[in-house]
Amino acid sequence: MEVWPKRIMDIWFTEKQSPNMKLSLRIKNILLNKTTEFQDILVVETEEYGKIMVLDGAIQITEKDEFCYHEMMAHIPICAHSHPRRVLIIGGGDGGVLRECLKHPFIEEAILVDIDSEVVQASRDYFPHVSSGMNDPRATILNMDALTFIREHKHEFDIVIVDSTDPVDFAAGLFQSPFYTDVFEALRSEGIMIAQTESPFAEASLLKQAYKEMEKVFPIVSLCWGAMPTYPTGFWTYTVGSKTVTPEEPRNPAPLDCKYYTSRIHSNSFVLPPFLEALIELK
């Protein structure tokens, strides 16, 4: 006879990853649930992935797998560049990308522009291991519209990292060529940008759009991919736009304490399965 498992806490957070697909995680506790000027922020403690931060219903970071995404976003462009000094991070208010950028001793300044100061505060409050880079003297955190910020800064950055939420509402412009033009102009002569460009299984058309729009602006555009368990389908892409250098081979060493990124993972991530190559019509 089965015994009813009275002691299991049966409370679930569910993300609608698409209209037809949901991921549900059993939770232990709700740590933060508020509506800011820009979005809903939820921080919950899950059994499977530790603490997670959710913006407008979409998982942004989890304690267990955030390294996969943040290491790729930071080290791919920084290691591809021959002498990066100044980095601009658009979005990424949790600070995970910032933390990774500042692992490189040669990075002199990293400016993070996230529209929502409450995301930054939530990360400081609940994710100290993610937000740790915010206290680095080389870091500056600005809470304003990145589209405005970037138009006012020309030829100032070696690296621009677009760590956006999904391209809806205030983030919609971040997947379009006028924005990529602004990024291009904000970059110095050997500048490199990277943007997260969704999953080819769940959001094939968005990925293709971002890639094509970036091709209108940057002479060199290249797609790479990696695993990211808590993002839809776990298969994530990153699109790199570059002014002069090819990004496929790293020029700088990987930080020693990475858990996902290595120099070999760097080059390998640009080798695409044929279905993905076909999607962006590389051949």
Residue positions annotated with a catalytic role: 163
Task: List the one residue from 128, 178, 253, 273 that touches a copy of itself (CB under 8 A).
Answer: 273
- Give DSSP secondary structure letters for the chain: -PPP-TTS---EEEEEEETTEEEEEEEEEEEEEEE-SS-EEEEEEETTTEEEEEETTEEEEETTTHHHHHHHHHHHHHHHSSS--EEEEEE-TTSHHHHHHTTSTT--EEEEE-S-HHHHHHHHHH-HHHHGGGGSTTEEEE-S-HHHHHHT--S-EEEEEEE--SSSGGGGGGGSHHHHHHHHHHEEEEEEEEEE---TTT-HHHHHHHHHHHHTT-SEEEEEEEE-TTSTTSEEEEEEEESSS-SSS-SSPPPTT-SS--HHHHHHHTS--HHHHHHTT--
Interface with a copy of itself (CB under 8 A), residue total: 41
Closest to a copy of itself by CB, 20 or 189: 20
By the rule CB under 8 A, 137 interacts with a copy of itself: no
Task: List the one residue from 39, 41, 42, 46 that touches a copy of itself (CB under 8 A).
Answer: 46
Question: Which range touches a copy of itself (CB under 8 A), out of 23-31, 120-128, 173-181, 184-192?
Answer: 23-31
Question: Which range touches a copy of itself (CB under 8 A), out of 7-15, 73-81, 117-125, 239-247?
Answer: 7-15
By the rule CB under 8 A, 25 interacts with a copy of itself: yes
Task: List the one residue from 11, 21, 30, 144 that touches a copy of itself (CB under 8 A).
Answer: 21
Site map 232..251 versus a copy of itself, x via CB under 8 A: -xxx----------------
Q: Residue 187 contacts by C-beta under 8 Å, 6 or more apart in sequence?
A: 155, 157, 158, 160, 193, 243
Question: Which range touches a copy of itself (CB under 8 A), out of 10-18, 75-83, 172-180, 213-221?
Answer: 10-18
CB of 77 to a copy of itself, least distance (A): 18
**Among 142, 118, 136, 129, residue whose Cα is nearest residue 42:** 118
Q: What is the DSSP letter of 254?
A: P
Task: List the one residue from 57, 64, 145, 151 that touches a copy of itself (CB under 8 A).
Answer: 64
By the rule CB under 8 A, 7 interacts with a copy of itself: no
Task: List the one residue from 47, 108, 169, 249 that touches a copy of itself (CB under 8 A).
Answer: 47
Task: List the one residue from 38, 211, 238, 261 that touches a copy of itself (CB under 8 A).
Answer: 261
Among positions 164-223, residues that touch a copy of itself (CB under 8 A) are 199, 201-202
CB of 246 to a copy of itself, least distance (A): 17
**Footprint on this chain of a copy of itself (rule: CB under 8 A):** 8, 12, 14, 18-26, 46-48, 64-65, 67-68, 199, 201-202, 225, 227-229, 233-235, 258-262, 264-265, 268, 271, 273-275
